[in-house]
Amino acid sequence: MTVSSTKHDVFQAIADPTRRELLSLLAEKEMSVTIISDHFPITRTAVSKHLRVLSEAGLVTEQKVGRETRYKLQPEGLRELKQWLAYYERFWDKKLTALKNFVEIKDIEHN
């Protein structure tokens, strides 16, 4: 176990479009569940469930303030995804490099 106990993994957490919208909303500022729910056509309960998934994946943090629960983005949770992606970037960079070389050679041929 690295840092946050991730019952849900990041990949699964961001798979749902509503949850991605939640992330982008919470990127702007910390918000309570009810306020967050006002931005979505689904019930507060449903939003709450999504928030829990995001929380368990370490993508948001929750803080109780009086009777409300404030959520905010925890961008560090996306590190795992970045690392995963970095592995594959090599492959398309490789292709790009090949294309670049090809174009340059063509350019030389034209002179």
- In terms of CB distance, is 63 or 97 closer to DNA? 63
From the list 49, 82, 98, 103, which residue makes contact with a second copy (rule: CB under 8 A)? 82
Binders of DNA among 19-78, rule CB under 7 A?
32-35, 41-46, 48-51, 53, 62, 66-70
> Which region among 15-23, 72-80, 81-89, 91-99 touches DNA (by CB under 7 A)?
15-23
Q: How far is the CB of 11 from DNA (least distance, A)?
A: 10
E strands of 3-111, at which residues?
Answer: 31-32, 60-65, 68-73
Burial 81-111 (b: 16+ CB within 10 A, else e): eeeeeeeeeeeeeeeeeeeeeeeeeeeeeee
DSSP 38: T
Q: Is 83 in the site for a second copy (CB under 8 A)?
A: no
Which of 21, 29, 75, 100 binds a second copy (CB under 8 A)? It is: 75
CB nearer to a second copy: give 89 or 104.
89
* Residues whose CB falls within 8 Å of the CB of residue 97, separated by 6 or more in sequence, listed in order: none
Q: Does 73 bind a second copy (CB under 8 A)?
A: yes
Burial class (CB in 10 A: 0-12, 13-18, 19+), 77: buried
By the rule CB under 8 A, 76 interacts with a second copy: yes
